[in-house]
Chains A and B, each alone.
Chain A
Amino acid sequence: MEELFTYYDIYATKGVEYLIIIVFYIIIVAFWKFVNIKPY
């Protein structure tokens, strides 16, 4: 019988790398705003 679900290796599919890139893009927005706060 054909398997209905196949497991993939998150490393082999570069899933982790995509996740890191997404996290980077999320953080860079906050980081950019944080860096550009005017000195007090």
Chain B
Amino acid sequence: MFWRESDPWGAWEPFRDYERLQAAMNQILSETRRTAPVTREYPLINIWSGEEHATICAEIPGVDPKDIDISIAADTVTIRGVRTETPRKETEKYLRRERGTGEFARTIQLPFQVAAEKVDASFRRGILYLSVPRAEADKPRKIIVKTATH
């Protein structure tokens, strides 16, 4: 933090200490906000993209692939599912619980129209791989300029 040097002439400034305190408080508050936990999206995704394809990868460990529902509309892909909790008997108790459970949904908008019929989904080692090709109608068209021959 950058502090103003105190007045070399010793002018009386009764509010200087107060201002200094306020500046320090503001800094503490702004730092708290920066590190405060944000609402976590689930699942987390990575997107790989090429010229006519994109691959959406999502880490969803412990979910039965049959319970993952994928829907496509124009340029958006929605992944839905449930992470179910293993039923526990009364004699079983949690000593540590960090894995989340419950329903999740994630909608991803892509920068192109998706050929919905060609989307391929696979689930390996707890990771969902969604291969989404670009729709034929959405691909850039090359226009050849004809030279007029008179």
**Chain A bound to chain B:** no
Q: Which residues of B contact A (CB under 8 A)?
A: none
Q: Which residues of A contact B (CB under 8 A)?
A: none
